[in-house]
Structure 1
């Protein structure tokens, strides 16, 4: 048995801000994917994944039945037969490894599931997001449900606010020098501790004001510029966003990257931002000239995900 593939995702804009109703934009990233399978169940990785799935199945059994129910008999039998999630998606890298797993489990075992083929009204999208949020909370403590939603639909998703989401058409890629890229920090990030730091910071009035007046403002502008294809305005707003993050989200940026982050802002060769919760994993980079960015970041591994 090998199930359908579910892809990783990249939240281009909106990390942390979407908790406070900023706009957000998530896109599928097909470079990484995962699928449920029962063959090759003897490797150490497969065994670890299988044990994780057994715990996840126990958790799913107790979810609110008015929200979602599963064919638990089949799920438990498949787990007993060695089923695991065979995935190339790096864990702790901010590209949605648990999201793809949640999407795969929902797709295969949910009863009365909402399928990707039906007319996806806003109501259905919000219901899916609520289901996925409840499922993914097993991994993160608190989840918006966006990563699994993106993985399940394999469509770009525009978040207008927490209760207003829609599939988005993004401008098709061009063969220009401008690019969005992933920068590998070489460190695995843990989502829960980063979210806890953020929630603690939210208790301070100054931090809340900064989030609303600066972070959310620039994030919203970035989303609008990106969707309109206004590249010139986009880079101005991404630069401002990069500054705000460096000044206010230092704990989420691995210490050895503070200098690199600042260099990008000062040289205008590239601008860095968080990819997911930070603390490690990937960082997202935006550049108007990918050659310049690669020269400036020659000691690091870059993966281009979108061209302007």
Structure 2
């Protein structure tokens, strides 16, 4: 048995800000994917995944029994499949900010939810919000707190525009070109990050009025402008706002940036060869880079691994 593929995602804009109602833009990233699968032969790797899914199944059973989720699952069939060794066969790197747990959640919902909302339906705002809430409850097993956006993106395999916490919609993004030589890329930090500790640091910072003011007046403002510029295809304005956003993150989100990349981050701001921002919660994994000249960015970042995800 092999289930359908669910893809990784990239939150282009909105990390942390969407907690405080900034805009956000999330896109599927088809380079990585995962699917539920029954192995021909069990290995320590498949068995570890199966054991993880068994715990997840128990968590879902608890949500259903306590009436804490608006959907029910065929958990007996899920448990039966797990007893047969089913696991999540995934190429999505964990702790890298590209939605490894989101794809798993999407796969379980797709395979085992009763009366599931499907991609083929007319996806009204209400249905999208219902899915987001369900996915947030499911994914909280992995992160302690989830927005539900990663599984939503993976499940729908569509770009998602977050206007606010209760206003989300599928988005049309400009077609990729490679005319200008500009690109969005992933920069590998070489270390894994954990979401929960980073969110904890953020929530601690939010207790301080100065940080809250900065978030509202600078971080959210630049994030919203980046989303608007990207969707309009206004590259000139986009890069002006990304530079400002990158600077704000370096100044105020340093714990989320691996220390060895602080200098590289600053170098991009000074040279204008590229601008870096967080990809997900930070602390490791990937960082997102934006450049108007990919060749120049590759030269400036020689020795580092870049993965192009979008070209202007």
Same fold at TM > 0.5: yes
Instruction: Name the stretch that deviates more: 43-52 or 233-242.
Output: 43-52
- Is the 1:40–1:46 contact (alpha carbons within 8 Å) kept by the matching residues of 2? no
- Structure 2 residue aligned with 1:121, among 103, 108, 124? 124
Sort the Cα spacing of 1:16 and 1:41 in 2 relative to 1 into closer, same or farther, 3 A: farther
- Is the 1:41–1:83 contact (alpha carbons within 8 Å) kept by the matching residues of 2? no
**Cα distance in 2 between the residues matched to 1:119 and 1:275:** 30
Is residue 296 from structure 1 mapped to residue 293 from structure 2 by the alignment? Answer: no
Corresponding residue number in structure 2 for 1:70: 73
**Cα distance in 1 between the residues matched to 2:88 and 2:116:** 20
Is residue 265 from structure 1 mapped to residue 257 from structure 2 by the alignment? Answer: no
What secondary structure sits across from 1:139 in the alignment? Answer: helix
**Cα distance in 1 between the residues matched to 2:237 and 2:63:** 44
Sort the Cα spacing of 1:294 and 1:109 in 2 relative to 1 into closer, same or farther, 3 A: same
Is residue 245 from structure 1 mapped to residue 249 from structure 2 by the alignment? Answer: yes
- Cα RMSD of the aligned pairs, angstroms, is 0.7
**Cα distance in 2 between the residues matched to 1:226 and 1:182:** 17
Is residue 33 from structure 1 mapped to residue 36 from structure 2 by the alignment? Answer: no
- Structure 2 residue aligned with 1:215, among 202, 215, 219? 219
Number of residue-to-residue matches in the alignment:
308
Corresponding residue number in structure 2 for 1:140: 143
Corresponding residue number in structure 2 for 1:88: 91
Corresponding residue number in structure 1 for 2:173: 170
Corresponding residue number in structure 2 for 1:228: 232
Instruction: Name the stretch that deviates more: 13-22 or 57-66.
Output: 57-66
Corresponding residue number in structure 2 for 1:105: 108
- Is the 2:22–2:163 contact (alpha carbons within 8 Å) kept by the matching residues of 1? yes
- Is the 1:41–1:84 contact (alpha carbons within 8 Å) kept by the matching residues of 2? no
Shift of 1:43: 1.8
Shift of 1:175: 1.5
Is residue 19 from structure 1 mapped to residue 22 from structure 2 by the alignment? Answer: no
- Structure 2 residue aligned with 1:278, among 282, 292, 295? 282
**Cα distance in 2 between the residues matched to 1:209 and 1:160:** 20
Corresponding residue number in structure 2 for 1:60: 60
For structure 2, the 5+ residue unaligned runs are none
Shift of 1:173: 0.3
- Structure 2 residue aligned with 1:180, among 179, 184, 209? 184
Shift of 1:53: 0.1
Give the structure-1-normalised TM-score: 0.99
**Cα distance in 1 between the residues matched to 2:207 and 2:73:** 38
- Structure 2 residue aligned with 1:190, among 189, 194, 200? 194
Shift of 1:41: 4.9
- Is the 1:246–1:258 contact (alpha carbons within 8 Å) kept by the matching residues of 2? yes
- Is the 2:188–2:304 contact (alpha carbons within 8 Å) kept by the matching residues of 1? yes
Corresponding residue number in structure 2 for 1:6: 6
Tell me which stretches of 4 or more aligned residues in structure 1 moved more than 6 Å.
Answer: none
What secondary structure sits across from 1:63 in the alignment? Answer: helix
Shift of 1:19: 0.2
What secondary structure sits across from 1:241 in the alignment? Answer: helix
**Cα distance in 1 between the residues matched to 2:157 and 2:81:** 25
Shift of 1:144: 0.2
Shift of 1:40: 3.8
Shift of 1:223: 0.1
Give the structure-2-normalised TM-score: 0.98
